Chain A
Amino acid sequence: MQDLSFRVEKGQVLGLLGPNGAGKTTTLRMLMGLIRPDGGEIRVFGHAIRPGAPVLSRVGSFVEGAGFLPHLSGRENLELYWRATGRPPEDAHLEEALEIAGLGDALARAVRTYSQGMRQRLAIAQAMLGLPDLLILDEPTNGLDPPQIREMREVMIRYAAGGRTVIVSSHLLAEVEQSCTHLVVMDRGRLVQAGPVHEIVGSGDTLLVGTATPVEEPVAEKIAALPCVASADRTDGGLLVRLDADGTAAGLVAELVRLEVPVASVGPHRCLEDAFLTLIGGSA
């Protein structure tokens, strides 16, 4: 790990993005005080992180898989974990966490009988016990099925909206694009770029317009000249339109229809993947 430096603020969902082996998990382990950085320091809420630092009591974490006592039930595991923190039982918000886990009757079964996905959800619930001010989730959607992935995404967004902070690592671009407000892109132990999602993926106001027939060059020029449009370029099967600050998709579509452009589809240009590959030099 070298030269990795980033900040995360209250209310943000920070995505830690990088290919496998980029050092995401190592970074999170350092954040939890499990391993020491060779140099430099980590501060959380202004307090330096070292092994067992008291400020970690404000941090909930799920890193590199679940860790439970296999002979105990899911509920017993969470209860004993909370009791091990020594904090008052009423601060645990156990029922809320269990609801997120959504394990139902399985909570009474020994964890050794759980599937991978069930352990995962229980571990995320454990991380949320006590509603920590900073929630660290490492690849939280691995092993979940699509409806659960969507639910997890909503859980994270809601969690941060309540004035808390979430750091989530992933190697899936679509994942972080949909749930994060900010990104840290890493590759081979180095910081590649950090900042708000829209800054990293380019401005969020670029639209990909699909057309039934290719757009003629003069038409593209007319579109580019529209008041709300900054630029318009022909691409395979349509147009790539960048809007002005005051432009809207609805306004653009109305203009396009007026110009008799055969609009088939309009959607945000998903350029995060391009941005990501460019940033890490295409090695992924």
Chain B
Amino acid sequence: MSTLTERNGTARDTASAEVAAGYRAGRTLPLRVELVRQLKRRRTLVMGAVLAALPFVLVIAFAIGGTPDGGPDGDRVNLMDTATSSGANFAAVNLFVSAGFLLVIPVALFCGDTVASEAGWSSLRYLLAAPVPRMRLLWSKLVVGLGLSLAAMVLLPVVALVVGTAAYGWGPLQIPTGGALEPGTAAQRLVVVVAYIFVSQLVTAGLAFWLSTRTDAPLGAVGGAVGLTIVGNVLDAVTALGDWRDFLPAHWQFAWADAVQATPEWSGMVQGAAVSVTYALVLFALAFRGFVRKDVVS
């Protein structure tokens, strides 16, 4: 009897129900939906194409310029000189030439453009009024932005490995300082390298994402993040700063080279990861804090 009354009560109360049928805040803007919204954009496709094309460009460059092995100053061997030894070497060289700048761009783009472009299109206010809770919206956007960034970083070495293997054969990874890593070990090390590059780029991601929540101009957020990364690189080149440079994320961006050795050396990568993650957490926190309180007027 009491159940029946209650049921009647519920039916009558639909006029003042808090939510529409089937709405649950936790289900709004699912990752899959956000991914579809971003994937179909031209900039995503162009970025993917650029990264996939780089290995081909390098193969052509080495074909025209000749193999770098045994250059004139044979005593100063670096990773570049081993590029054509094997597919694994070629993949490592691709990462080496792009880690400093080329891989910064997809991260800044995917994390910096994501909220600002919605604000620019005015679609942000309709998502928020759907309502997608603000934390939920940022979370979906951040996960998809980071996911696309990671995909870009995986895409480059995978294409390079395939192209390099086709061009130079499958073989052990020749270490510039002497020795070689078996293909199986080499593959593991490349995974470590990609993982480290991803973690070291989190600071750029954090910066871009924070800027994205502050502006309606996507170019401002992306450009700001790329610009500050460049400033970091410049400061790192100022040797007079001495130990202060340890606090610059840019100081550690090539620490992954320690993994391309007979015995990997971890301390540099651990420090670099710690610096990057610390900055990133602060920046992500700023983004969430600011966005939740913000008046959306775009």
A58 x B20 contact (CB < 8 A): yes
Chain A residues within an 8 Å CB radius of B122:
64-67
Q: Measured between alpha carbons, how far is A58 from B130 in the docked complex, in Å?
A: 9
Chain A residues within an 8 Å CB radius of B34:
84
Q: How large is the interface on A (under 10, 10 to 19, 20 to 34, 35 or more residues)?
A: 35 or more
Q: Measured between alpha carbons, how far is A231 from B19 in the docked complex, in Å?
A: 51
Q: Measured between alpha carbons, how far is A268 from B111 in the docked complex, in Å?
A: 59
Give the residue of B23, B129, B292 whose beta carbon is less than 8 angstroms from that of A86: B23
Known contacts A45-B17, A47-B18; A71 and B23 CB within 8 A of each other: no
B297 x A35 contact (CB < 8 A): yes
Chain B residues within an 8 Å CB radius of A81:
126-127, 130
B22 x A87 contact (CB < 8 A): yes
Chain A residues within an 8 Å CB radius of B127:
81, 84
Chain B residues within an 8 Å CB radius of A84:
28-30, 33-34, 127, 130, 132
Chain A, Cβ-Cβ closest to B27? A86
Known contacts A35-B297, A80-B33, A84-B28; A54 and B126 CB within 8 A of each other: no
Q: Measured between alpha carbons, how far is A258 from B21 in the docked complex, in Å?
A: 61
Question: Is B5 at the interface (CB under 8 A from chain A)?
Answer: no
Question: Is A32 at the interface (CB under 8 A from chain B)?
Answer: yes
Give the residue of B24, B123, B132, B297 whose beta carbon is less than 8 angstroms from that of A52: B132
Chain A residues within an 8 Å CB radius of B19:
54-55, 57-58
A80 x B133 contact (CB < 8 A): no
Taken residue by residue from 261 to 279, chain B's Cβ proximity to chain A (1 for < 8 Å, 0 otherwise) reads as 0000000000000000000
Question: Is B36 at the interface (CB under 8 A from chain A)?
Answer: yes
Known contacts A70-B121, A91-B21; A35 and B295 CB within 8 A of each other: yes
Question: Is B97 at the interface (CB under 8 A from chain A)?
Answer: no
Question: Is A59 at the interface (CB under 8 A from chain B)?
Answer: yes
Which of B37-45, B56-64, B182-190, B225-233 lies on the face that meets chain A? B37-45
Which residues of A81-101 have CB atoms within 8 Å of chain B's CB atoms? 81, 83-88, 91
Q: Point out residues on A near B: beta carbons under 8 Å.
A: 10, 29, 32-36, 45-47, 51-59, 61, 63-72, 80-81, 83-88, 91, 126, 130, 132-133
Chain B, Cβ-Cβ closest to A58? B20
Q: Measured between alpha carbons, how far is A80 from B29 in the docked complex, in Å?
A: 9
A85 x B36 contact (CB < 8 A): no
Chain A residues within an 8 Å CB radius of B128:
32-34, 51-52
Minimum CB–CB distance for B24 against chain A, Å: 6
Q: Which of B17, B123, B131 has the most CB of A within 10 A?
A: B131
Chain A residues within an 8 Å CB radius of B131:
33, 51-54, 56-57
Minimum CB–CB distance for A227 against chain B, Å: 44
Q: Measured between alpha carbons, how far is A67 from B121 in the docked complex, in Å?
A: 5
A56 x B130 contact (CB < 8 A): yes
A126 x B20 contact (CB < 8 A): no
Which residues of B166-218 have CB atoms within 8 Å of chain A's CB atoms? none
Q: Measured between alpha carbons, how far is A21 from B33 in the docked complex, in Å?
A: 37
Chain A residues within an 8 Å CB radius of B91:
none
A87 x B23 contact (CB < 8 A): yes
Question: Is B125 at the interface (CB under 8 A from chain A)?
Answer: yes
Minimum CB–CB distance for B41 against chain A, Å: 5
Chain A residues within an 8 Å CB radius of B295:
34-36
Minimum CB–CB distance for A277 against chain B, Å: 30
Q: Measured between alpha carbons, how far is A29 from B128 in the docked complex, in Å?
A: 11
Q: Measured between alpha carbons, how far is A83 from B132 in the docked complex, in Å?
A: 11
Chain B residues within an 8 Å CB radius of A35:
295-297
B16 x A87 contact (CB < 8 A): no
Give the residue of A52, A61, A88 whose beta carbon is less than 8 angstroms from that of B126: A61
Q: Measured between alpha carbons, how far is A66 from B296 in the docked complex, in Å?
A: 15
Minimum CB–CB distance for A78 against chain B, Å: 11
B125 x A69 contact (CB < 8 A): no
Chain B residues within an 8 Å CB radius of A66:
122
Minimum CB–CB distance for B74 against chain A, Å: 52
Give the residue of A33, A57, A67 whose beta carbon is less than 8 angstroms from that of B123: A67
- The 20 listed contacts between A and B (C-beta, < 8 Å) are A29-B297, A32-B129, A35-B295, A45-B17, A47-B16, A47-B18, A51-B128, A52-B25, A53-B131, A57-B130, A61-B129, A67-B122, A67-B125, A72-B40, A80-B33, A81-B130, A85-B130, A85-B132, A86-B29, A87-B22
Q: Measured between alpha carbons, how far is A87 from B29 in the docked complex, in Å?
A: 10
Question: Is B238 at the interface (CB under 8 A from chain A)?
Answer: no
Known contacts A32-B129, A68-B121; A57 and B20 CB within 8 A of each other: yes
Question: Is B15 at the interface (CB under 8 A from chain A)?
Answer: yes
Question: Is B245 at the interface (CB under 8 A from chain A)?
Answer: no
Chain B residues within an 8 Å CB radius of A33:
128-129, 131
Known contacts A45-B17, A47-B18; A57 and B23 CB within 8 A of each other: yes
Given contacts A47-B16, A52-B133, A52-B136, 6 further A-B contacts (CB under 8 A): A34-B128, A45-B16, A57-B130, A61-B129, A81-B126, A86-B28
Question: Is B95 at the interface (CB under 8 A from chain A)?
Answer: no
Chain B residues within an 8 Å CB radius of A58:
17, 19-20
Minimum CB–CB distance for B196 against chain A, Å: 34
Q: Measured between alpha carbons, how far is A180 from B168 in the docked complex, in Å?
A: 76
Chain B residues within an 8 Å CB radius of A91:
20-22
Q: Measured between alpha carbons, how far is A86 from B32 in the docked complex, in Å?
A: 11
